[in-house]
């Protein structure tokens, strides 16, 4: 599962025509971890601290990222007619630190389920031109999001609880093995 933050494809109200109701925190409970016979890399959650990632980038790169907003489209949750729009760099509402808002592009070559398409705001979907801003963001972040310098690869243990900051951290999941896992999640503001 691609890097993302939770709530980006959630409607604020049932009548809303815009997507994006991201919680500040997420509380996870591992009811059942991946079974020991599965590959230990299966079912892990990759948690990346975007504050540290941003602080490692050259100032000129951060300044360019601050000027870019992206649009995200998916058929997940039956919201294909809606678009989620967000600046790439945001200010954390509690700490005032800069953080990243990003969903990794996840096309049909990576999933059989619901692809997520990422474009810059104002990009013409009918155009054959390169989307330079969206490409710049992906090229800047892709390897860093998975890097052990910024990412924690969390292997779940049955009964474990984890609290995540959904503003300053992005998360992804490695593929699930045959045994799967059972997680519960609560969003908190």
135 three-class SS = helix
109: CATH: 3.60.130.10
Domain hosting residue 30, numbered range:
25-188
Three-class HEC string of 99-133: EECCCCCECCCCCCCCCEEEEECCCCCCCCCCCHH
Is 2 a member of any domain? no
Distance between CA atoms of residues 173 and 180, nearest Å: 12
The pLDDT score that the predictor gives to residue 1 is: 74
The pLDDT score that the predictor gives to residue 107 is: 66
The pLDDT score that the predictor gives to residue 79 is: 55
Report how many domains make up the chain: 1
Is 20 a member of any domain? no
CB atoms within 10 A of CB 183: 17
Task: Note the pTM of the prediction, 2 decimals.
Answer: 0.85
The pLDDT score that the predictor gives to residue 147 is: 95
Nearest to 10 by CA among 87, 73, 69, 79: 79
Low-confidence ranges of the chain (pLDDT < 70): 9, 17, 38, 76-82, 107-108, 110, 113
Is 36 a member of any domain? yes
Is 38 a member of any domain? yes
The pLDDT score that the predictor gives to residue 150 is: 96
Is 159 a member of any domain? yes
Is 37 a member of any domain? yes
The pLDDT score that the predictor gives to residue 124 is: 80
């Amino acid at each position: 599962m691609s890097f993302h933050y939770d709530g980006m494809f959630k409607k604020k109200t049932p009548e809303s025509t815009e997507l994006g109701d991201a919680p500040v925190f997420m509380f996870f409970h591992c009811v059942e971890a991946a079974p020991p016979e599965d590959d230990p890399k299966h079912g892990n959650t990759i948690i990346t601290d975007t504050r540290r990632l941003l602080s490692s980038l050259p100032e000129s790169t951060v300044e360019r990222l601050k000027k870019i907003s992206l649009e995200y489209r998916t058929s997940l949750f039956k919201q294909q007619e809606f678009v989620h729009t967000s600046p790439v760099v945001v200010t954390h509402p509690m700490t005032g630190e800069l953080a990243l808002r990003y969903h990794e592009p996840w096309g049909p070559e990576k999933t059989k389920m619901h692809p997520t398409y990422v474009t810059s705001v104002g990009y013409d979907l009918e155009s054959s031109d390169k989307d330079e801003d969206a490409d710049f963001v992906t090229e800047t972040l892709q390897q860093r999001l998975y890097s052990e310098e910024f990412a924690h690869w969390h292997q779940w243990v049955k009964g474990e609880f984890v609290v995540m900051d959904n503003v300053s951290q992005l998360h992804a999941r490695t593929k699930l093995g045959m045994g799967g896992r059972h997680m519960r999640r609560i969003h908190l503001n």
